Amino acid sequence: MLEKTLATLLLSAASLGPAPHLAAEPEPGSLLVFAAASLTESLQALGSRFTAGGGPRVEFSFAGSNDLARQIAAGAPADVFFSADAARMDQVEKTGMVKAADRVDLLSNLLVVVVPSGSTAAVETPQDLAALPRIALADPAAVPAGVYARQWLEGLGLWAQVEPRVVPTLDVRAALAAVESEAAPAGIVYRTDAAIAKKTLRAKVAFEVTNGPRITYVVAPLANAKNRPAAEAFVKFLRGAASRAEFEKHGFLFLAKN
């Protein structure tokens, strides 16, 4: 009972981090992009550039890719979906709302283990995670960042030891917030999220994950997009050299060819 209560409190603490921005009905003529929470800063910058270059205003809904895929399947008025994994894009494609030919494997990322900036805990190897009382992860049953982390630990034969200590959060940014607030002594997030935490001085990288699963971010215009030409133009813009520079500045690995 105590463990369940503690987990509930930690989930609440994690949710105090930057909340997913779920856009309402977009303004007429604007472009609505549903994107993984880890893409927030880079896409906000690129959306402004796209508009400044003559494109329509770009509005965003940032959240866990699993939640976004579910919203799209339920009829949310998105024009573009930018998922942190292929599985969520597969899910949308099966509904007919994305065409296979329109999908672009655009980015990759790396996982890192983070701890509060003032931590003195010895967290230097994957095996050290099994000795911690709590580990914050984006929901490993659904959210890409958590799924990738679970796959990595399964590959090392450590998941069975770590799973009882996992505090699942709504998305990767919430997992980071749990560590920053010291609600959890460690968490597994993307390298790009850790770079943001470094600026706030509230969390630090304990170690980078090696031999982890391949992380692939996939973007596509929606087949039924209200602003389909603009959606296609935005995806093309994301594949360009200026976008590549922005993504790489934030720590992403660029996969797509121009």
* Domain ranges, ordered by start, for the chain: 2-16+109-208, 31-108+216-254
Q: Which residues touch 210 (CB under 8 Å, ≥6 apart)?
A: none
CATH code 3.40.50.2300 for 31-108+216-254? no
**What value does the mean pLDDT take over residues 11-27?**
45
Residue type present at position 213: P
Domains 2-16+109-208 and 31-108+216-254 share a fold: yes
Tens-place pLDDT, residues 196-222:
887 778 899 999 999 999 999 999 999
Q: How many residues does the chain have?
A: 258
The reported pTM is 0.88
Tens-place pLDDT, residues 130-189:
999 999 999 999 999 999 999 999 999 999 999 999 999 999 999 999 999 999 999 999
Among 3.40.190.10, 3.50.50.60, 1.10.10.10, 3.55.50.30, what is the CATH number of 2-16+109-208? 3.40.190.10
Cα-based distances in Å from 78 to 60, 82, 89, 236, 251? 9, 11, 13, 17, 26
